[in-house]
C-alpha cells in the first residue's frame, strides 16, 4: 500500500492508497476514511461498493458519510468498481460493461477473466490488505453499496456467512438474471450458463438458503432504473418473504437514483451498521 493522498475531515483522515492487486493482476486504487478514534486504537470497518461508472471518488465526495463515520468511530473502506489501466479490457462506448462496471464477480470468460475478479478483490484481498496495514479490528466489518454496488454488497454478505456483521444497500440491482444490465454483463463475464449467474444473484442466493440476520434496503420511488426494470426489489422481497429472511425494504417517496438520495439516508445506514458492529 502506498499512500497517495491524505485529507483531514471531521477529526479523522480521508486517505487514498495505491497497490498492486494479485486478484485483478493490475494496480488498484482505493480510499479509506479513518475516524478520529483510529488514532487511539483499532476500529470496525464499513465497506462501501459503488455503482456503474463510479470510482472510489464518488462516494467519498458526494455522500457526506465521513461525518457519521466519525461520530460512530467506524472506518470507511471504499474500493474502485473495476480494474483499470493499460492492458485491462474495456468497451469505451458502453458505460455498463468493462472499466467502471466490474459487477463484483469473478469473470471466467476471456478477455475479462485475467483482470475482472472483483469478487475476490473485495471479499478477500482488500480486507486482508487493510487489516494488516491499518488500525482496524480484524474481521469486524459490515458492507453496503449503491446500485451495482448494492448488488455487490448483498452477494458478498449472503455468500459469506459470518464475514459481515450487517449489510445494507441503496437502489441495489437485486435480480441481475432478469435485468438488462445483469444479463449483458453476466453474459460477457460468465458466459451463457445462467446456473453460473445464480451464484452472483442476491434473489437466487436467498432462494437457495443464504441468509443474514437482517437486510436493510432503501429504494427511491422516482428512480428511473426502478421503472425500467433494472433493479427488481420486488423479486428480492418476495424471495425473502418465502425464505423468512428478515428484510427492511423502505420505499422512499420521490427519491431518485442519485447521490442526493444516498446523502439523505446514509446517516441512518451508518447508525444501523454501528449497532451491529458494536
Residues marked as catalytic: 147, 223, 257
The full length of the chain comes to: 278
Give Dmax (Cα) for the chain: 51
43-49 vs 136-145, strand pairing mode: parallel
User: Exposed, middle or buried by CB within 10 Å (0-12, 13-18, 19+), for 20?
Assistant: exposed
* Residue-wise burial string across 98-117, b where 16 or more C-beta atoms lie within 10 A, e elsewhere: bbbbbbbbbbeeeebeebbb
Least Cα distance to 118 among 87, 147, 153, 144 occurs for 153
Q: Partners of 46 in the beta sheet?
A: 76, 142
The CA-based dihedral angle spanning residues 36, 145, 168, 178, taken in that order and rounded to the nearest 10 degrees: -170
Other C-beta atoms within 10 Å of 271: how many? 13
Amino acid at each position: 500500500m502506498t499512500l497517495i493522498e491524505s485529507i483531514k475531515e471531521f477529526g479523522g483522515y480521508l486517505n487514498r492508497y495505491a497497490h498492486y492487486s494479485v486478484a485483478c493482476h493490475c494496480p488498484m486504487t482505493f480510499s479509506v476514511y479513518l475516524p478520529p478514534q483510529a488514532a487511539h486504537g483499532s476500529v470496525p470497518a464499513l465497506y462501501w461498493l459503488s455503482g456503474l461508472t463510479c470510482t472510489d471518488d464518488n462516494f467519498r465526495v458526494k455522500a457526506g458519510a465521513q461525518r457519521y463515520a466519525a461520530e460512530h468511530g467506524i472506518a470507511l473502506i471504499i474500493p474502485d468498481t473495476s480494474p483499470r489501466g493499460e492492458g485491462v479490457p474495456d468497451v469505451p462506448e458502453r458505460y455498463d460493461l468493462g472499466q467502471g462496471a466490474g459487477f463484483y464477480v469473478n469473470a471466467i470468460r476471456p478477455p475479462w477473466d485475467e483482470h475482472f475478479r472483483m469478487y475476490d478483490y473485495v471479499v478477500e484481498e482488500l480486507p486482508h490488505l487493510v487489516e494488516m496495514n491499518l488500525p482496524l479490528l480484524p474481521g469486524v466489518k459490515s458492507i453496503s453499496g449503491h446500485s451495482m454496488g448494492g448488488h455487490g454488497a448483498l452477494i458478498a454478505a449472503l455468500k459469506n456467512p459470518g464475514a459481515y456483521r450487517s449489510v445494507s444497500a441503496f437502489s441495489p440491482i437485486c435480480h441481475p438474471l432478469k435485468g438488462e444490465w445483469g444479463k449483458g454483463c453476466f453474459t460477457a463475464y460468465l458466459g451463457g450458463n445462467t446456473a453460473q449467474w445464480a451464484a452472483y444473484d442476491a434473489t437466487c442466493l436467498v432462494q437457495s438458503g443464504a441468509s443474514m440476520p437482517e437486510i436493510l434496503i432503501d429504494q427511491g420511488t422516482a428512480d428511473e432504473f426502478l421503472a425500467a426494470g433494472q433493479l427488481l426489489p420486488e423479486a428480492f422481497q418476495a424471495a425473502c418473504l418465502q425464505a423468512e429472511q428478515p428484510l427492511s425494504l423502505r420505499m422512499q417517496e420521490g427519491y431518485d437514483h442519485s447521490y442526493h438520495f444516498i446523502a439523505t439516508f446514509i446517516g441512518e445506514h451508518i447508525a444501523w451498521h454501528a449497532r451491529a458492529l458494536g
